């Protein structure tokens, strides 16, 4: 019986870590039906198909996204650099997402620190609109993306560190008990 109790206390952190990992990945997979890569967008203005070019570079913990939207003839409609600082649990994304009532998806520029906005296609051009003006569902989805793609990973790391401390503490207690039994037998 003592062996089963010891085994139970030894596997508690492992079970907790696996459960939490699975929980986070389930939520990540649920969120994928709301967020799309920019390649999925098919924007047109007056039957003129727009070309969306995006490129991402990394400088340490800084992600730099370059977005250029042009007409087929090369006329630039939107050109922007968007920086996402991933330092100290920062994060963000540039994804296609439905945030308003029109049938086209919008390009959302979201980050945990700094300006958040989206690009909305209209008949006359592209409008840059603050993300704060979007519906509540979109705000919640963006926060959940951040929660399960940035914060969840940090929590897993902390959970692993606490598990290691738990096992070290268990070993120390075991050694103290053995030492106590050794001196008690003398």
Is 6 among the domain residues?
Answer: no
User: Please, what is the angle between helix 2-31 and helix 152-185, to 10°?
Assistant: 170
Over residues 89-119, the pLDDT tens digits come to: 778 888 889 888 888 889 999 888 888 889 8
Residue 21 lies in a domain: no
Provide the pLDDT for residue 172.
93
Q: What pLDDT, on a 0 to 100 scale, did the predictor assign at position 39?
A: 81
CA distance 26 to 144: 12
Token pair for residue 8?
Answer: 């139970």
Q: How far is the C-alpha of 83 from the C-alpha of 20, rounded, in Å?
A: 30
183 is a domain residue: no
Which DSSP category does 133 fall into? G
Q: Exposed, middle or buried by CB within 10 Å (0-12, 13-18, 19+), for 36?
A: middle
Confidence bin at 74 (pLDDT 50/70/90):
confident
Task: Tell me if residue 12 falls in helix, strand or coil.
Answer: helix
For 177-181, what is the mean pLDDT? 87
pLDDT digits (tens, 9 = 90+) for 29-48: 888 899 888 887 888 888 88
**How open is the CA angle 71-57-60, to the nearest 5 degrees?**
155
pLDDT category of residue 54 using cuts at 50, 70 and 90: confident
Q: Would you say residue 130 lies in a domain?
A: yes
pTM of this structure: 0.77
Instruction: Give a yes or no: residue 106 inside a domain.
Output: yes
127 — pLDDT class (breaks 50, 70, 90)? confident
Q: Which domain holds residue 90?
A: 29-151
Higher pLDDT, 87 or 42: 42
Place of tokens 């106590």: 180
Distance CA 141, CA 129 (A): 18
Residue 180 lies in a domain: no
Report the number of distinct structural domains present in the chain. 1
Q: Write a three-state SS string for 38-77.
A: HHHCCCEECCEEEEEEEEEEEECCEEEEEEEEEECCCCEE
Biggest alpha carbon–alpha carbon distance for the chain:
94
Q: In this structure, is residue 23 part of a structural domain?
A: no
pLDDT at 186: 65
For residue 176, tell me if it sits in a domain. Answer: no
Residues 131-176: tens digit of each pLDDT: 888 889 999 999 998 888 888 888 888 889 999 999 999 889 889 9
């Amino acid at each position: 019986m003592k062996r089963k109790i010891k085994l139970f206390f030894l596997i508690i952190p492992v079970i907790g870590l696996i459960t939490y990992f699975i929980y986070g990945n389930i939520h990540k997979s649920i969120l994928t039906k709301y967020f799309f890569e920019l390649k999925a967008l098919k924007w047109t203005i007056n039957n003129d198909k727009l070309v969306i070019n995006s490129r991402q570079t990394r400088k340490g913990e800084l992600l730099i996204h370059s977005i250029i939207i042009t007409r087929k003839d090369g006329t630039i409609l939107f050109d922007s650099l968007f920086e996402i600082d991933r330092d100290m649990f920062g994060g963000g994304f540039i994804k296609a997402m439905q945030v308003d009532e029109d049938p086209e998806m919008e390009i959302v520029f979201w980050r945990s620190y700094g300006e958040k906005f989206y690009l909305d296609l209209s008949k006359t051009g592209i409008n840059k609109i603050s993300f704060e003006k979007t519906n509540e569902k979109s705000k919640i989805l963006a926060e959940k993306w951040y929660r399960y793609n940035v914060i969840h990973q940090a929590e897993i790391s902390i959970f692993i560190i606490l598990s290691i401390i738990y096992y070290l503490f268990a070993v120390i207690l075991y050694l103290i008990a053995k030492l106590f039994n050794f001196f008690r037998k003398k």
